[in-house]
C-alpha cells in the first residue's frame, strides 16, 4: 500500500483523533477521501472570495451493518484508433467536398467547410478523452443506504484500502 503524503496528512490531521491510524488518502482540488483503520472520511473543501466551506462525512467500518464492498472501474469501450479513423474519414470527405466546391458545386464546398473542422474536433477530443473513473460502494445491511465514492482515472489505492479494511474488520475471530 502506498504511503500517505505529508500534504494529505496535514489536511486530515485535525479530523483524525489520537489512536486512529490513517491508511490511505486521495486529495483532489475540492475533495479528500481517506481510509483509516476505523472509517472512511469524505472531506469536501471549497475556498471562495468571501467564505471557506468544509464538509466532513464519516462512515464507520466497524459496525455489524457493513456487509461488503463493490469496486468498479470504467474502461474505454471504443479504442482511440477507431475514433481517429472516423475523424480521418470525415476529413477526407470534407476535402473531397471542397474539391467539388472549387469546380462549381457550392453544396459540396459548404459540406466540406463543415466537415473539415468537425474532423479536427473529432481528432482533438479523441486525444483529450479521459476514461477510467474508479468507484467503490460500501454495502450496508437493513434499511441503511449504501455509500459510494468516485475517484478519477487510476486512483485505485483508496478503493482497495476500503475493501481491505472491510475484509479485515469482518474476518472471523
Encode pLDDT of 51-86 as tens digits.
778 888 889 888 888 888 888 876 666 667 888 889
Supply the mean pLDDT for the chain. 82
What is the pLDDT at residue 1?
A: 42
Q: Where are the domains of the chain?
A: 6-74+138-169, 80-128
Residues 122 and 90: beta-carbon distance below 8 Å: yes
Q: Please state at what angle helix 106-128 crosses helix 80-102, rounded to 10 degrees.
A: 160
Distance CA 64, CA 169 (A): 10
Q: Where do we find the cell 464546398?
A: 109
Query: What is the CATH architecture of 6-74+138-169?
Result: Roll (2.30)
Whether the predicted pLDDT of 149 surpasses 70: yes
pLDDT digits (tens, 9 = 90+) for 2-32: 456 565 666 677 788 888 888 998 988 888 8
At 2 the pLDDT is 47
Residue 40 CB neighbour total at 10 angstroms: 22
Amino acid at each position: 500500500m502506498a504511503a500517505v503524503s505529508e500534504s494529505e496528512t496535514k489536511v486530515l490531521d485535525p479530523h483524525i483523533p489520537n489512536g486512529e491510524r490513517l491508511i490511505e488518502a486521495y486529495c483532489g482540488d475540492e475533495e479528500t477521501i481517506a481510509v483509516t483503520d476505523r472509517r472512511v472520511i469524505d472531506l469536501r473543501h471549497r475556498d471562495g472570495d468571501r467564505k471557506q466551506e468544509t464538509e466532513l462525512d464519516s462512515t464507520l467500518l466497524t459496525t455489524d451493518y457493513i456487509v461488503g464492498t463493490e469496486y468498479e472501474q470504467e474502461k474505454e469501450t471504443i479504442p482511440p484508433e477507431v475514433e481517429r479513423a472516423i475523424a480521418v474519414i470525415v476529413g477526407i470527405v470534407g476535402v473531397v467536398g471542397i474539391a467539388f466546391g472549387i469546380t462549381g458545386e457550392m453544396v459540396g464546398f459548404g459540406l466540406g467547410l463543415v466537415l473539415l473542422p468537425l474532423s479536427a474536433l473529432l481528432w482533438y477530443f479523441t486525444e483529450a478523452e479521459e476514461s477510467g473513473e474508479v468507484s467503490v460502494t460500501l454495502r450496508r445491511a437493513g434499511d441503511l443506504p449504501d455509500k459510494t465514492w468516485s475517484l478519477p482515472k487510476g486512483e485505485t489505492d483508496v478503493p482497495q484500502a476500503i475493501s481491505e479494511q472491510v475484509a479485515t474488520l469482518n474476518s472471523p475471530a
